[in-house]
Amino acid sequence: MATSPWVTWPALTKFGSLGVMVALLVLAAERQELLENNMFDTENWQEKNADIVCDERSLTARMEDGTCNIQENPAEGSVHVNFGRNVDPASVYAESNSGNLLNPNPREVSNLIMSRGGDFKPATTLNFIATSWIQFMVHDWFDHGPRTDANPIEFPLPAGDVLGGGTMSVQRTRPDPDVSGDEGIITYENINTHWWDGSQLYGSSKEKNDEVRSFVDGKLKVDGDGRLPTEFFSGKPVTGFNENWWVGLSMLHHIFTQEHNAIADMLVANYPGQSDQWYFDKARLINSALMAKIHTVEWTPAILANPVLERAMYANWWGLGGDRDKRDKYQDDLDNLNNNLGQIGGLLDLVGIDNGLGDSPTGSLEHALAGLVGSRTPNNYNVPYTLTEEFVSVYRMHPLLRDEIKVYDIGSNVVDEEIALEDTRNGDAEDLLGDIGQDRLWYSFGITHPGALTLNNYPDFLRNLSMPLIGDIDMAAIDILRDRERGVPRYNEFRRQIGLKPLTSFEQLTSDPQLLADLKALYNNDIELVDTLVGQLGEETRPEGFGFGETSFQIFILNASRRLMTDRFFTTDYTDEVYTAEGIDWVEDNTMVDVIRRHFPSLATSLVGMDNAFKPWGLNMPEEYQDWDAQTKQNHLWVNGALRTSYADSEVPAIEPIDIGGLINSVLWKKVQDVTDVAPPGYSKPIHPRGALAKVKFVPSAGHDFTGLFQGADHGLLRLSVTGDPSDRGFAPGLALKLFVDGKRSENVSALYTLSGQGSNHNIFANELSNYVQAEVNETLGTTTLFSLVSTKPTLLVMSDMAKVKQDGSAVGSPKTPSQIYFVPNSTLKNNTSTGAHDFRDDLTAIPAGTKVYDIYGTTQSIRTSIWPWVTERYARERRNSAVKIGELVTDSEFTLSQFGDTGIFFKHQRYEDR
């Protein structure tokens, strides 16, 4: 059997925390290898440095063109410097000259194995903000600039192409103007600074920088509504880099322009009397570092959702900051590893990893864990810092794009509008920002998925993209062609060059039979011919949680670290003195969630509990949930639970029959023991499966002396339901009420009319409901018997807990609890609701907010029963007659029908035994 070509370090995660540590060690060793073997310089520095003079300001500020970060080699990392290489230049053959440039035909590759063809494959662990974000970052890092008209690359359209016959013509990449021309190595310039310096906002030249600045208090130019000024002809914003513009990019440029200005405000408040230039320089440093941090510890762990990676990325950043507090988080890991040194070797052997990590695993671990903290002085490993052609190549992530954007109202999951992505480009993006509203767009991007980074998932619109002044282009064909043109090796050679094993068969890449057949046909059964992008997108074996495969990852770990460790402003000068103490705090204390919340307060509720803005927004239940105040908890469950999962009108599920088999012991025990507000995933309600949920208030009546929440609760949720399909066992209404408490668990009560219901009467308001119902001799369901498994009084729910606590969380000294309460339906609702067969949920969704739905009565008479049914009934009548009105239940919203209301929300039952 052929051995696997894939790296096995991720398999270590199955050994728990120690495995994660060992995997980090392997990762560090891999990075070290790459640093030593895979960095190649292609620049003539003497020439580049000739005219650069580093002034005083450059000691504490980023220069517009990226010069003087490294004072001894001031051109390093600056604009118009060549891309370096991660593969040996001697092995880089210009495909243009090798005769292989068009083999196979790039348009055929695009048609056959790149095309999405309407069959969108989502990346379900990410949201669409992640797509805009990475393009936003890429525009900070690099661009090859405008292409040249000279000598275009031309190739025939393959047979059967939708574009018909003829040829496709692609302009060449602009050649390096300073090419020395001797070694035959092809080089190209980066038209953006190579540094992680926010050049997509600030520009890569003094002229561009002057255009975007307001020159007042260090701020960037925006109009009265916080919008960026636009170019007269294109309608695109004036910002550092505005190519390939669409609405997702515009959202990010707007928010980080606003963030820059918020930072400038903070600086002006703390350091009055400084110059505009001083404020600008500091704000740029802080904003750029914040973006770099967000990318390192939020975007990357979202797309590579693997525990090893998360720690490695945290170490990259907080190791870098050298912040003791943050590093302490990992100190335990280090201790754990030190205590278990003996096991490490065994673990490595077990997963087949070469155990030659050197004699000092802890030393390597320091490097892995503490990341770049050891390199408090910038370290370029003796190769001047630049980004590389291979780095550009692995960020060809166009499949992340959708072909349309879906627009939702904040809090909703019902699509309000769909807009073709093509119609969100260039000047149209700015119109949409105004028409739709930036907050609705952020919400909409937060809950939709990007495309998965796989083959056959290339956006359709990009394969027929209209470019001003260029015409229609096929980006998939261009992506393939560019790598070949620039001498990025084909996939297998690429892997060899960066220390990975080459593949020996197509079967190692994918098991999809159609894709296999297409790949073999396209590449003439020659695995060596496979294009590097095709191989990378095709990798079916990926480390757990990884949104892209290990080949791209290898390039990524090298360059991601290098970008930080070579930059003076992320190492020696990442200090209070250079950034200001408030500036360092701003970087360290803010996340992408904070940034979005700061500029769009209307999204605060949608972001509750979100720890990573790039993961799909939804209902998260953070550990501290119980500590929140009553209103925040109610709002969270309502907006992120109910509203976000509400059914579209056409998708309301039918009411299922009761699932008696589902009333198993464990579910029943859960019902009486759990104190959560949300059921675990997979929990379903075996009885009362479908209902309607509304926000309610318990408005107390004067003059009764029941205590705690009976004295009023402003934040509750009411669910009205029936036990099961009424055509199965009759119409049996039920109610569940949850009242939230500041900083403590909620209190709940449920009520029924009777166990067996009200027969064919479909009016949900026909009868009073109560927390106590009498056992029934003929009850066909047998719920009494079943509930007897967990309680000696199976038809009673007690409410003593509700009387013990007030809404503000304070405890009641001498609680007084009603023994039984009665929910008496509002007579108008009762009289206006049909008794004939119909869906009761339609009655509920028609009720406006602010409607009293029930009067509530309570009694203190104890519940007595007799062996004589008529005596039991008399006791019941007496109790009812003794009850006094204690309050009203008034809706605070309309009723909604939602997945959360049907399967998510959980109402605890308080047993007689637990009173």
As a whole number of angstroms, the distance between CA 908 and CA 911 comes to 9
Q: Which is nearer to ligand HEM, 397 or 796 (CB)?
A: 397
In one-letter notation, the amino acid at residue 227 is: R
Start-end of H helices in 805-909: 827-832, 840-845, 869-882, 899
CB of 393 to ligand HEM, least distance (A): 8
- Specify the residue, 409 or 422, whose C-beta has the smaller distance to ligand HEM: 422
**Given 3-state DSSP classes, what are the helix, strand and coil percentages for the chain, each rounded to the nearest 5?**
45, 15, 45
CB 803 within 8 A of CB 812: yes
Task: Give me the least distance between CB of 518 and ligand HEM, in Å please.
Answer: 24
Please state the closest distance from residue 422 (CB atom) to ligand HEM, in A: 8
CB closer to ligand HEM out of 392 and 692: 392
CB of residue 177 to ligand HEM, shortest distance in Å: 16
Other C-beta atoms lying within 10 Å of the C-beta of residue 634? 24
* Closer Cβ to ligand HEM, 472 or 842, answer by number: 472
The Cβ of residue 12 has, within 10 Å, a number of other Cβ atoms equal to 24
CB of 914 to ligand HEM, least distance (A): 55
Measure the CA angle with vertex 156, ends 155 and 162; round to 5°. 125
Q: What is the CA radius of gyration of the chain?
A: 33
Q: Which is nearer to ligand HEM, 323 or 423 (CB)?
A: 423
Minimal distance, residue 147 CB to ligand HEM, in Å: 6
Asked if 194 is an active-site residue, the reply is: no
- Comparing CB distances to ligand HEM, the nearer of 40 and 141 is 141
Nearer CB in complex with ligand HEM: 548/765: 548
Residues in the chain: 915
Rounded to the nearest whole angstrom, what is the least distance from the CB of residue 195 to ligand HEM in the complex? 16
Q: What DSSP designation does 217 have?
A: T
Under a CB-based contact definition with an 8 Å cutoff, are residues 480 and 109 in contact?
Answer: yes
Least distance in Å: CB of 425 to ligand HEM?
A: 6
Q: Which two tokens stand for residue 79?
A: 């604009």
Closer to ligand HEM at the Cβ: 446 or 730? 446
Nearer to ligand HEM, 142 or 823 (CB): 142
Tell me the two tokens of residue 597: 């919340």
Least Cβ distance, residue 537 to ligand HEM (angstroms): 13
The residue to which tokens 């393959």 are assigned:
158
**Residue 187 Cβ, how far from ligand HEM at the closest point, in Å?**
13
- By the 10 Å C-beta count (0-12 exposed, 13-18 middle, 19+ buried), 149 is classed as exposed
Q: Which is nearer to ligand HEM, 236 or 398 (CB)?
A: 398
Cβ density class 273-309: b for 16+ within 10 Å, e for less: eeeeebbbbbbbbbbbbbbbbbbbbbbbbbbbbbbbb
- Residue 85 is given by DSSP the state B
Smallest gap, in angstroms, from Cβ of residue 475 to ligand HEM?
A: 6
DSSP states of 441-502 as a string? HHHHHHHS--B-SSTT-B-TGGGGEEETTTEEE-HHHHHHHHHHHTTPPPHHHHHHHTT-PP
Rounded to the nearest angstrom, the gap between the alpha carbon of residue 355 and the centroid of all alpha carbons in its chain is 36
Q: Which residue has the tokens 């740029």?
A: 284
Task: Out of 139, 688, 715, 762, pick the active-site residue.
Answer: 139
> Least distance to ligand HEM from the beta carbon of 172, Å?
9
| CA-wise closest residue to 242 among 254, 225, 258 | 254
* Cα–Cα dist 385/559, whole Å: 10
Contacts of 18 (CB under 8 A, 6+ apart): 336, 337, 340, 343, 344, 347
Q: For residue 154, what are the β-bridge partners?
A: 169
- Spacing of C-alpha 761 from chain mean position: 47
Residues that bind ligand HEM (CB under 6 A): 131, 134-135, 138, 142-144, 147, 244, 246, 392, 395-398, 400-401, 475, 478, 482
What lies within 8 Å, CB to CB, of 601 at 6+ separation is none
Question: Are the CB atoms for 315 and 370 separated by under 8 Å?
Answer: yes
First-to-final CA distance of the chain: 66
- DSSP assignment of 204-216 equals SSHHHHHHHB--S
Q: How many CB atoms lie within 10 A of CB 620?
A: 16
- Residues 773 and 880: their CA atoms lie apart, in Å, by 12
The 3-state secondary structure of 810-840 reads: CECCCCCCCCEEEEEECHHHHHHCCCCCCCH
Residue closer to ligand HEM by CB (options 283, 480) is 480
Q: What are phi and psi of 402, to 5 degrees?
A: -90, 170
Of 390 and 902, which CB lies nearer to ligand HEM in the complex structure? 390
Active site residues: 139
